[in-house]
Every structure is written in structure tokens, then in C-alpha cells.
Chains A and B, each alone.
Chain A
Amino acid sequence: MRTWLVRLTIVTSILASVDAAGSPRTAPIALSRFVSTVRAFTLAPERLPSLVQLTQHCGGDTLCAAQRVAGAVGPRAALMRVQHPDTDTIRWVTTKPSVVRVTDDGLQRVIALRQFGRKVTQELLQALHSGSVGTPTRAIVLDLRCNHGGDFHRMMRIAGLFTGPVAGAVTLAERHSHMTVDIPKAASRVVTDSLTVYVGPQTASSAEVFAILLKQYVGATIVGQPTYGKNFLVRVIPVTHDWSLLLPSAMIEVSGYDLSAGVVPDHVTEVDLSACE
């Protein structure tokens, strides 16, 4: 498994080689850092313009370089305008909720998980345990119908709440190597007699992986409609103050599943998507 430090070394060594090569030494620092990061993570380095070409064409304009990189990589790459946080968001006072709805009819608790936000672990634990202090929740339904995916590692962390630690649960197929990703050990473990995952055509990417992991490792039942089918990971590479580049960096593989075709539920049911609007 490639460690973070190894990756950092790659970025640093690319920067060093750029210096050693001579001509790009004149490239602006931000542009050099951007290009070296893209090269370290892209699935298609052969398509990328060189640093020299980018410097000649864009000068010090990193956004211009990012547009050319995005164009070269293809439709899976995209420039994204940065949503700047306010001071309350920075200090965690406000955060986009991950758990948007909890209902409990006495037999089962339905938790609508909309995204994998910064406080997803705390919100999920609160949703699982509120009103049932000291007693395990009997039946849980995780509603992922409106979950479009999001931060991959946060998703893996909350998977650990249900599965416990699992080595090599997911494989990220990168350009030259396959990196296995573990489900990490969570601080606490959710105990339940029955776990159902509710999915639909808007359930995508990290949310699809989450559903599969719960099925594989704790025997969750998946119900609803086939999911969106998105099987690749992107890296969010800062470009300028206002722009980031979403760069495809790995295909996501879970043994026994073809994620590109989406997740097919164990039980197909009608799915109401009005709540997702």
C-alpha cells in the first residue's frame, strides 16, 4: 500500500526534477506545484501538456493551465468553483448536515444520510442512539436514495462503525499500481439485529461503495432501484483561490461487483425521489 509519505515524495521529486531539468525552473511556483500534483495523480499522464508547454501558453496563469489540463484529460475532469467557507463553517459552528432526517416507528429507525460531511460520524451516532440510550437499536434502515457520494475516506470511516476494521476492503486501481484501502477501526460499533440500505438512481459513487460494504461485511439487505453507477475516484486539486480541478485518479473496485453498472438491489421496490429535490 502506497503511503502518503511516498506520494508526497513523488510530488517533491517531480518538483525537484523540474528544477533539475532547467527550463521549467522559470515556471511560476504555483504552476509547478499544480502540474507536479496533477502528474502524480492522473490516470492519463500521456495526455497532459508539459510544464514547458503550459508555461509558454499560460505564463503564470494557473487557471489557464488547469483549463488546458482538464481539456486534455477529457470529460471526467472538471473545473469546480470553490465554495468559500465563512468563519462559522471554519470553526465547525455550522456544517452541512449529513443526516437530514430520522424517523422511528418503534419497529425500525430510518436514517436519511444525504452526504458524508465533516460531522458525519457524530451525526450518525447521534441518530442511531438518540432515544434509545443503553439499548441496541433493533432494526435500522439507512436511506441513501439522495446520497450522491462525497469524501471517500469519511465514507470508509463510517462503514467501520458497522463492519469493524476490514483489511483491503476496497481497491483503488491507479495508473501504475493497485492500492488497497482498509475500513478503519471505529471508536464505537453499531449493534443491530437488522440493517437495510435503501438506494435509488441518485445513489452514487461513495454511497454505492458504502452500500456494498454493508452488504458484504454485515449482511445488509439492499432495497430500492439500481444505483447511478459511478466507479472512479477524483482528486480535488486546488488551482487558484476560486477554482479547483477535479481530476480522475483511480478506478474503485470492490471484489465481486461491477460498480460501473451500479448496485442492483436485493429487493427492487418503488423509489420516491421527491425528497431529493
Chain B
Amino acid sequence: MHHNGLNYRYRCSARVVGAVMAAAVVLLMGVLQPTAAHDDLIYHVFVPNRASADIGVIDSRTDTVVARIPVGRVPHQVVVSDTLRKLVASNTEDNTISIVDLSTRKTLATLPLDKEPEHMEISPMDDIVAVGNIGAGSVSLISLVDHKERHRITGFFEPHNLTWSPDGSLLYVANLGANHVSVVNVSQGKIVNEIPVADPQAVAKKTGTSASEFQGIINVTRTPDGRFGFAAHGESGKMAVIDLRTGKTQKSLDVGTMPWRAYTTANGQYMLVPNNGDETVAVIDTMTQEIVKVLPGAPDMTGVNTGWFDTTAFVISRGGDKVLILDLIAMQKVGEIPLKSSPETGVITPDGAKLYVALSGSDRVAVIDTKQRKLLTMIEGVGKEPWGAHMVGAVNYCH
């Protein structure tokens, strides 16, 4: 339904103009209060702002900020249940999450969780949010219907990104700082499997000296059909291809030095893996599960988005203050877009036409035309230290 962009847009045009004008008036008054028409939700880009403790809301039709929703301190990520019309922000500094009604933009609940809730993912049925409490090594499962924490599951290392099985029965948890993926049975609220991804780190050092930094696993990236999960392991340079039906690793690929994580194209044809150690991007064909190309990368890559019918990949280089443009038809790098400063992560609109990139160092959001491969505009006033971007119906991720 979200992809039915054009017709939907025309049908809503009168309402859209009205909403934009109303938003403009509100902005001029300096009072960013809120109401969002139900149909507007799919056009909104939600931006968590770590330093201003709020969520900026951008209307992607006008590329203007239409609201700033206050949440807790240091919101790391935002997720949205469009079915329930609720937004969830993880307030890492407060050890809480905020649940916000998107119709009124009022906070419905602020739930205390474990230490440092960061990454979140909403279940396929849109009714449960899984939250990784990275500072405590636990995962919370919260009902978005009654706002109750149903389970708090311990036994993780540093739970980073979370991935649901297509039917919502299982949750795959990437363990930063470890070498395995944990599998949670959601109804039981407990870990039922641990999938080894790589050997433990090999170290030769003087006894008693501090350990070197260790990455482990950032994410399990699911193919859109839910059949396979791709889990990169930083130190080993391995990419494990996990059969998510059996929980077994069926293949291991050498993808490069210090791979960050895999990012799927929207159509599931490729997985793109930025390797921060050798500054390359490995492209994996998900059908053959082989690397088909290694393309040039850049320093400190923290995100990859694909757009314009999945023909183009935009690789966010935080360390290089730029976005690389990779043509996935020609399989080559075709350009760069400088983005000062500190591009973090981004989201591409569900129709694949525009990319929004949060720039934490300049308190702006960059908007890129994915067809023209050009910077369209910079959106000011979104909030302080914008950290990411989220849209309903899009391929969302967090770093």
C-alpha cells in the first residue's frame, strides 16, 4: 500500500496542500504543535535528535520540518507502528523509551527499561517493539497495545541490532563484542538458540594489558523473504549466511577487512557490505550467495541505502563526510556527494526517489535526489545532533 505513491499522492493533494500550509503557519508561530492527518504519516521522515532530546518530523513532500516531538535524553533511534499510529524513541541516557501517539503527538507512556536502551525493531504485526539494552546485555519486549514490558530477557553480550522472523515468532539478536547470534523465542521470552558466526578473537599480548577493541556482530540482515540472514563478523572478516529456518550457518564468505554489516537492496537481490578496514564495499548476490564485486569505499562507513529502482547505492561515509554513489547496474563507483558534517545514517523514501541523511555535526538533514544523484537541499531546524531517519514503509536501519 505504501508503494502506491502517485495515485495516492494525487488523491490526497488538496489535503496535502492544506496540511503543508497549516504546518507552515505553525512553524512561523514558533509553536511546533501538532496534529498529523492519518494519511500524512507515510510522507513523514522521523529524525531522532540526540542533543535536543526530541524527534524532528519532516514532511517529504515539502522538505520542511513540521514538528518537533519532545522525548527523553539522547534518543538513539525511532521506530513507528503505522497500524497503531505510535512512535517509539529509545532514550539511551534516561534508560527509558517514549511511546508517542502520532495523531496528537503527545507522549502516551515513558517506560523505564534496563541500562542504555538503544536499538529497536517493531514486530511484523506492528504490535511489539524489541529493545536492546546494550549497557545491561538484555532485551526488552514491549507491547505497543498496552505499553507493558512483557519480557526482559538476559544473557546477551551487547545486544545491537535486532531482526524479526517474518512471522514474528523469533527474534535474532546481533551480539556486539561476541561471536554468535542469539535467537529468542518471542512467546516464551527466552533465548532458545545461539548461532556461532566466527571463531573467537585471536590475541597474542602480554598478560595483564588491556584488550584491543573488538567489534563482533552488528546486525543480522534478513533477505526480504525471511529465508536467510547475513551476519558479518568484524575481526574475522567473515560473513555468515544463516538459514533462518534451521538456525544453521550454511556458508561463510570472506568479505573484506572489518566488515560493518550487510544492507539489503529493497528487492533483495544484493547485500552490500561496507568494509571499514580496507575501505571497500562488497556486493553479494543473494541468489548465489557469492561476492560479485568489490567496489571502492571510504572511511568509517555507517550506512548504505539503495534507491531509484535499486539501481543505485548510496554509501554513507561518516569519516569522509560524504556519500558515495555506486551504480549497481554498471557495478562501479560513479561519484560522491560531499556532506559536511558527520553524516550518520539515512532513509530512502518508499518510492525510492529521495534519500534523507542525518548530519549530526551540523544539525541538518541532507536531501538527495536518487535519480539525478544530486543534493537537492539541506533542511535546517530539524533538531540538535540528528542521528538517523525513519519512514514508514521504507528500508530502515540504525547504526
Contacts and interface: CB of A to CB of B under 8 A. Distances in A.
Given A206-B205, A233-B202, A118 B137 contact: no
Contact of B210 (A83, A84, A209): A83
B393 interface: no
B212 A237 contact: no
Interface stretch (A44-52, A90-98, A135-143, A266-274): A90-98
A148 B179 CA distance: 24
Interface in A231-253: 232-238, 240-242, 244, 246-247, 249, 252
Contact of B203 (A8, A96, A150, A187): A150
B204 A206 contact: yes
Contacts of B258: 118
A222 B78 CA distance: 55
A209 B207 contact: no
B157 A241 contact: yes
Contact of A234 (B203, B248, B300): B203
A8 B249 contact: yes
B212 A121 contact: no
A93 B205 contact: no
B168 to A, nearest CB: 21
Nearest to A76: B207
Majority-rule SS of A interface residues: mixed
A153 B299 CA distance: 21
A86 B175 CA distance: 15
A209 B203 CA distance: 12
A209 B204 contact: yes
Interface string B191-205: 111101011111111
Interface stretch (A29-37, A191-199, A213-221): A29-37
Contacts of A83: 210-211
A246 B204 CA distance: 10
Interface in B210-238: 210-215, 235-236, 238
B320 to A, nearest CB: 11
Nearest to A249: B202
B232 to A, nearest CB: 13
B238 A4 contact: yes
Majority-rule SS of B interface residues: loop
A29 B204 contact: no
B204 A33 contact: no
A92 B319 contact: yes
B211 A118 contact: no
A115 B137 CA distance: 28
A116 B199 contact: no
Contacts of A96: 212-213
B136 interface: yes
B203 A233 contact: yes
A5 B254 CA distance: 11
Contacts of A151: 201-203, 212, 235
Given A91-B300, A150-B203, A30 B212 contact: no
A11 interface: yes
Nearest to A187: B278
Contact of A4 (B158, B180, B236): B236
B345 to A, nearest CB: 10
Contacts of A230: 204-207
Interface string A105-148: 00000000001111001100000000000000000000000001
A73 to B, nearest CB: 14
A152 B204 contact: yes
Contact of A122 (B175, B179, B299): B299
A27 to B, nearest CB: 12
Interface string B161-198: 00000000000000111111000000000011110101
Nearest to B299: A122
A41 interface: yes
A205 B199 contact: no
Nearest to A202: B206
B390 interface: no
Contact of B202 (A118, A153, A238): A153
A82 interface: yes
Best-surrounded residue of B176, B179, B193, B213 (most CB of chain A within 10 A): B213
A85 B177 contact: yes
B95 interface: no
B206 A12 contact: no
B196 A8 contact: yes
A155 B235 CA distance: 12
A152 B235 CA distance: 10
Nearest to A259: B204
B7 interface: no
A87 interface: yes
Contacts of B276: 92, 118
B211 A80 contact: yes
A82 to B, nearest CB: 7
Given A91-B318, A96-B213, A121 B205 contact: no
B178 A238 contact: yes
A204 B205 contact: yes
Contacts of B177: 82, 84-85, 238
A11 B214 CA distance: 21
Contacts of B199: 4, 7-8, 41, 235
A29 B181 CA distance: 12
What 7 A-B pairs come out closest when comparing CB atoms? A241-B137, A149-B205, A205-B204, A204-B206, A148-B206, A235-B200, A238-B178
24 contacts: A4-B199, A5-B252, A12-B249, A30-B194, A87-B118, A89-B213, A91-B344, A92-B276, A92-B300, A92-B319, A96-B213, A117-B212, A117-B213, A118-B215, A121-B257, A148-B209, A149-B209, A150-B203, A152-B203, A206-B205, A234-B204, A236-B214, A241-B158, A247-B200
Interface of A: 4-5, 7-8, 11-12, 29-30, 33, 37, 41, 78, 80, 82-85, 87, 89-93, 95-96, 115-118, 121-122, 148-155, 157, 187, 202, 204-206, 209, 228, 230, 232-238, 240-242, 244, 246-247, 249, 252
Given A153-B202, A234-B202, A241-B156, 9 more contacts: A29-B155, A84-B177, A92-B300, A118-B212, A149-B205, A152-B204, A230-B204, A236-B200, A241-B137
